[in-house]
Amino acid sequence: MDIFEKCYNFTEAEKIKGMGIYPYFRAISSGQDTEVTVDGKKMIMIGSNNYLGLTSHPKVKEAALEAVKRYGSGCSGSRFLNGTLDIHEKLEERLAKFMQKEAVQVFSTGFLTNVGTIATLVNRKDYVITDRSDHASIVDACRLCFGNIVKFKHNDMSDLQRVLGSCNDNAGKLIVVDGVFSMEGDIANLPEIVNLAKQYHARVMVDDAHSIGVLGENGRGTAEHFHLEDEVEMVMGTFSKSFASLGGFLAASERVINYIKHFSRALIFSASPPPAAVAACLAALDVIEQEPERRERLWRIARRMHREFRALGFEIGSSQTPIIPIYIGDDIKTFQFWRMLSDEGIFSNPIISPAVPPGSQLIRTSYTATHTDEQLDRVLEVFEKVGKKMGVI
């Protein structure tokens, strides 16, 4: 059998392209902002994770430019050997202080942070316990570890208890959840997770990719939101969302970070984040700390959009955050809905299985603190028009 046979047999993308509803790999010819340019046409962006609008912040852009002038374009090696710059260390110190943890390790992406943490910590006989809706990078991290992988139903605490009860008492246990679930926009039930973790002697890791800068009084994420920062031992974040850059980090105790530094293959065998990305993160962190009004504006927008989508009759599930899914429930219908939004100048993301369970196909919308009220009015107007045309509302 030819290893390439699966490639020759994969024709779904061509079929969808033939129907004019292929939504992926669209080239944007402007900056990532609330308005973007695609094929020469201006579109309102509601498909970005640029929650605080920092991709175009003058201080963030300036910091990246200055870093290129001083350090050049890349690091040409991993953090472990020749790829550590003083600004990597500065970023780690600043983030540890911000997250109120003993130490931070920066990785080259959020995906690598999960892989490089989970696969390193969960050894033979240990357990990693994950929510069924956890991000793909957690799923893949589990595949790479040698321990036992067990899953519980999405945010279902009695199922988590059942799973914990089935684990060997004497084995190490790590519960890993998304703080904010990336497609559903709901928040992990951290108070109960922490309770159960204590009861069953498990440790907790929260993936706060969508929560840092967004949740909590100071933007420190899900644990701050629930006042549980001392109880959550490990928090990972990514720089590809609120930080408007690229990279990821793990915040934990000094002993855990020291272990990760010396055993994490995703850290040791992959090149470090480039100077421009690191400097942009440092500047973004300044803004996160100094401009809380951005977070407040984001939440006003999120609350308005929850209210108005519900009032129009859309099914938005249990979203509590600036990630608001519009459930459609069928692949082709989701793509058609996306296409009609696109024709009306709205950039959104259609999400189908395996990113969501079959039957839960959705249009993922997400908001930015710098969206104007007029842009949001237009988004709602288009959704109402398309929703009625498609029989969704």
Residues found near ligand PLP in the complex (CB under 6 A): 109-111, 114, 135, 137, 178, 182, 207, 209-210, 238, 240, 248
266 by Cβ neighbours in 10 Å (0-12 / 13-18 / 19+) ranks as buried
- Nearer Cβ to ligand PLP, position 184 or 229? 184
Residue 251 phi, psi dihedral angles, 5° rounding:
-110, 130
- Nearer Cβ to ligand PLP, position 135 or 295? 135
Q: Which two tokens stand for residue 263?
A: 């055993």
How far apart CA 274 and CA 264 sit, in angstroms, is: 19
- Nearer Cβ to ligand PLP, position 176 or 382? 176
- The residue from 88, 135, 210, 225 that is catalytic is 210
Angle, CA of 134, 175 and 267, to the nearest 5°: 75
Quick one: CA dihedral 221, 224, 226, 229, positive or negative?
positive
- Nearer Cβ to ligand PLP, position 111 or 383? 111
Q: How far is the CB of 312 from ligand PLP (least distance, A)?
A: 27
- What interhelical angle do 373-389 and 292-312 show, nearest 10? 20
User: DSSP label at 2?
Assistant: -
How far apart CA 180 and CA 235 sit, in angstroms, is: 12
- Is residue 192 classed as helix, strand or coil in its secondary structure? helix
Q: How far is the CB of 182 from ligand PLP (least distance, A)?
A: 4
Q: How far is the CB of 40 from ligand PLP (least distance, A)?
A: 28
283 by Cβ neighbours in 10 Å (0-12 / 13-18 / 19+) ranks as buried
How far apart CA 132 and CA 360 sit, in angstroms, is: 14
Active site residue 241: yes
How far apart CA 35 and CA 84 sit, in angstroms, is: 36
Q: How far is the CB of 68 from ligand PLP (least distance, A)?
A: 21
- Nearer Cβ to ligand PLP, position 240 or 361? 240
Angle, CA of 284, 103 and 262, to the nearest 5°: 115
Residue whose CB is nearest to ligand PLP in the complex, by number: 110
Q: How far is the CB of 240 from ligand PLP (least distance, A)?
A: 4
Question: Buried b vs exposed e over 110-124: b needs ≥16 C-beta within 10 Å?
Answer: bbbbbbbbbbbbbee
DSSP 282-331: HHHHHHHHH-HHHHHHHHHHHHHHHHHHHHHT---TT--SSEEEEE--SH
- Nearer Cβ to ligand PLP, position 242 or 375? 242
- The residue from 57, 88, 154, 241 that is catalytic is 241
What Å distances lie between residue 376 and 47, 87, 91, 295, 383, CA to CA? 13, 38, 35, 17, 11
- The residue from 48, 137, 182, 366 that is catalytic is 182
- Nearer Cβ to ligand PLP, position 67 or 209? 209
Q: How far is the CB of 245 from ligand PLP (least distance, A)?
A: 9
Q: How far is the CB of 327 from ligand PLP (least distance, A)?
A: 19
Q: Which residues are catalytic?
A: 182, 210, 241
